[in-house]
């Protein structure tokens, strides 16, 4: 019997279809119960029934297959005992989570690769990044507290934006982005970051990753071959630039930020995080800001400014955008990923006039335009003042977390040094001489359910052991637990 079983029992698993091939099992000489068990095992084994899939009730499945209900119930019970299925009172029967042989081998390999693990993935991202998603606690840098996303305010802005949207907004749009958002961004960036940009020169991108890719291709097509980047930073950025056809030249860092005095003759462009270098946290000094602008004016070079978390400062006056000094030579890039959430996939670049047509062409070829409804919502969110209120609220929350981190480390692990804390969403914890290597610390943290990132994964030398602590990442309810585990790992490893 090859039957489609449909559950119709109200309140249980109503409406679930299940294709069971009992005819093949009977040809093999199996009885009704054994055949049903074998058919279900086979469906789970070959992936037709994935983990968590709800099965029809025994009554409904028996009716649809023409079997006795006891036969189905006994088959379910046997498969539950074997671990193929799970059954809970009030929740019915479902397929249990099972590892394939490949998954088991992969997990075994990951377990065997302990403290020495410093490899990177195919896109240059540290291999430990998935731990930040899987583990119960995470202090991985580069993310805000996504649980604090302002759902109610965003939803209200979305409803207002949708109601007011002109019909033409739902068609194909200007590759630069919706004019409502570009106008809102131009006013906001001028007020908050000192950016001088006409809305016509703003291009909305689907995240900072897309912005970097667009700019790399534009620079390559203009004849650029080399771009200088800070020696420490997200590996993905260098990978994206190289994928766009540019060779990357590392810029050393010191207490004044990137050392830009060596740009002459070595690069056609430079990518900087001048307001708050990632990960060291130092701003580019006034003298070097002037020097890099002078270099761009003298050589025709292009400066790419990544202002990834410019809204969050705590113990100093905000550092304005470098773009305000030379809009004709600096491409300013900002994003909603830190102020709101990475899942929005909204970023923007303020482009010098001579690059605009080329950037718009690349954007059109990439995806024509970014999602319109989210653009309209962000425009309304900014224009209504909700964005400012959210940023101020999060600034206070992140500052409190930073203070708790610094105080806890000073009390429990006084041998470490914390730096880069005047702004941003992370801190650098420098380890004392004789401490265990950062790779060992991150493995010990992983065993405690905590995701940590070492400075070595961002390009630092092995003789500079340090951790980069993303104190903004955990939700409020998990921050204390993450901080406790961090202190325990450091106390154990730093003597």
> Domain of 394: which CATH number?
3.90.1150.10
Shared-domain flag, residues 179 and 140: no
Query: What is the rounded CA–CA span in Å between residue 490 and residue 495?
Result: 8
pLDDT value for 98: 65
- Identify the CATH number of the domain in which residue 66 sits: 1.10.10.10
Distance between first and last Cα of the chain:
69
Q: Around 64, how many Cα atoms within 13 Å sit in the side-chain half-sphere?
A: 24
Shared-domain flag, residues 362 and 262: yes
pLDDT value for 31: 85
Q: How many residues does the chain have?
A: 495
Shared-domain flag, residues 272 and 377: yes
Q: Around 192, how many Cα atoms within 13 Å sit in the side-chain half-sphere?
A: 20
- Identify the CATH number of the domain in which residue 162 sits: 3.40.640.10
Shared-domain flag, residues 35 and 130: no
Within a domain: 100: no
Q: From the CA atom positions of the chain, what is the Rg in Å? A: 28
pLDDT value for 314: 87
Distances (CA, A) of 199 to 147, 189, 202, 382: 32, 11, 5, 15
Shared-domain flag, residues 79 and 221: no
pLDDT value for 355: 97
Contact 270, 292 (CB under 8 A): yes
Within a domain: 101: no
Shared-domain flag, residues 168 and 281: yes
Within a domain: 262: yes
Listed residues 333, 350, 384: the one ending a domain: 384
Within a domain: 243: yes
pLDDT value for 117: 37
Shared-domain flag, residues 296 and 424: no
Shared-domain flag, residues 124 and 24: no
Listed residues 352, 384, 416: the one ending a domain: 384
Within a domain: 59: yes
Q: CA torsion sign, 451 to 454 to 457 to 458?
A: positive
Q: What is the pTM of this model?
A: 0.75
Distances (CA, A) of 117 to 111, 232, 244, 369, 454: 10, 19, 29, 40, 11
Shared-domain flag, residues 20 and 121: no
pLDDT value for 125: 39
Query: What is the rounded CA–CA span in Å between residue 96 and residue 278?
Result: 43
Q: Domain count of the chain?
A: 3
Contact 113, 446 (CB under 8 A): no
Paired tokens of 457? 């994964």
pLDDT value for 495: 60
90 alpha carbon, distance to own chain's centre: 36
Within a domain: 316: yes
User: Who's near 227: CB < 8 A, 6+ residues apart?
Assistant: 216, 219, 241, 246, 247, 248, 249, 267, 268, 269, 270, 271, 304
* Ranges under pLDDT 70 in the chain: 1-17, 98-133, 461-463, 495
- Using alpha carbons, select from 122, 82, 98 the residue that is nearest to residue 44: 98
Within a domain: 223: yes
**Tokens 């109503």, residue located:** 14
Shared-domain flag, residues 301 and 227: yes
Within a domain: 299: yes
Listed residues 369, 384, 399: the one ending a domain: 384
- Phi, psi for 5 (deg, rounded to 5): -90, 130
Shared-domain flag, residues 35 and 135: no
Query: What is the rounded CA–CA span in Å between residue 76 and residue 40?
Result: 9
Shared-domain flag, residues 349 and 224: yes
pLDDT value for 397: 96
pLDDT value for 436: 85
Residue-range definition of the domain harbouring residue 189: 151-384
- Using alpha carbons, select from 51, 46, 45, 26 the residue that is nearest to residue 36: 26
């Amino acid at each position: 019997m090859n039957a489609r079983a449909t559950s119709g029992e109200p309140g249980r698993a109503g409406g679930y279809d299940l294709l069971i091939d009992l005819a093949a099992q009977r040809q093999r000489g199996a009885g009704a119960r054994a055949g049903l068990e074998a058919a279900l095992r086979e469906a789970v084994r070959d992936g037709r029934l994935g983990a968590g899939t709800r099965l029809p009730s025994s009554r409904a499945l028996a009716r649809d297959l023409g079997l006795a209900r006891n036969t189905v119930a006994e088959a379910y019970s046997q498969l539950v005992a074997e671990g193929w299925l799970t059954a809970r009172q009030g929740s019915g029967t479902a397929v249990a989570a099972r590892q394939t042989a490949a998954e088991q081998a992969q997990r075994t390999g990951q377990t065997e690769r302990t403290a020495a693990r410093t490899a990177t993935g195919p896109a240059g991202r540290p291999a430990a990044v998935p731990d930040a998603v899987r583990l119960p606690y995470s202090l991985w840098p580069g993310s805000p507290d996504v649980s604090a996303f302002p759902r109610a305010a965003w939803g209200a802005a979305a409803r207002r934006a949708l109601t007011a949207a002109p019909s033409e907004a739902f068609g194909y749009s200007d590759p630069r982005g919706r004019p409502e958002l570009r106008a809102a961004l131009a006013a906001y960036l001028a007020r908050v970051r000192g950016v001088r940009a006409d809305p016509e020169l703003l291009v909305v991108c689907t995240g900072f990753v897309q912005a970097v890719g667009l700019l790399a291709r534009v620079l390559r097509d203009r004849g650029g071959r080399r771009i200088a980047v800070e020696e420490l930073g997200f590996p993905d950025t260098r990978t994206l630039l190289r994928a766009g056809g540019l060779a990357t030249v590392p810029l050393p860092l010191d207490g004044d930020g990137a050392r830009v005095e060596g740009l002459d003759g070595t690069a056609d462009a430079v990518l900087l995080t001048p307001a708050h270098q990632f990960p060291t946290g130092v701003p580019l000094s006034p003298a070097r800001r002037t020097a890099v602008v002078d270099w761009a004016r003298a050589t025709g070079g292009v400066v790419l400014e990544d202002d990834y978390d410019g809204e969050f400062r705590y113990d100093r006056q905000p550092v304005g955008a470098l773009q305000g000094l030379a809009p004709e030579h600096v491409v300013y890039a900002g994003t909603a990923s830190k102020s709101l959430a990475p899942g929005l996939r909204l970023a923007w670049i303020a482009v010098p006039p001579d690059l605009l047509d080329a950037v718009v062409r690349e954007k059109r070829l990439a995806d024509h335009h970014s999602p319109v409804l989210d653009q309209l919502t962000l425009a309304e969110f900014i224009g209504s003042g909700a964005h400012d209120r959210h940023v101020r609220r999060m600034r206070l929350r992140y500052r409190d977390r930073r203070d708790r981190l610094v105080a806890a480390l000073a009390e429990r692990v006084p041998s470490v040094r914390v730096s880069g804390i005047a702004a941003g969403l992370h801190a650098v914890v420098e380890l004392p001489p004789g401490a265990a290597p950062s790779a060992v610390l991150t493995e010990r943290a992983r065993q405690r359910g905590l995701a940590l990132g070492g400075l070595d994964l961002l390009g630092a030398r092995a003789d500079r052991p340090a951790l980069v602590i993303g104190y903004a990442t955990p939700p409020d309810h998990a921050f204390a637990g993450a901080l406790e585990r961090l202190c325990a790992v450091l106390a154990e490893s730093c003597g």
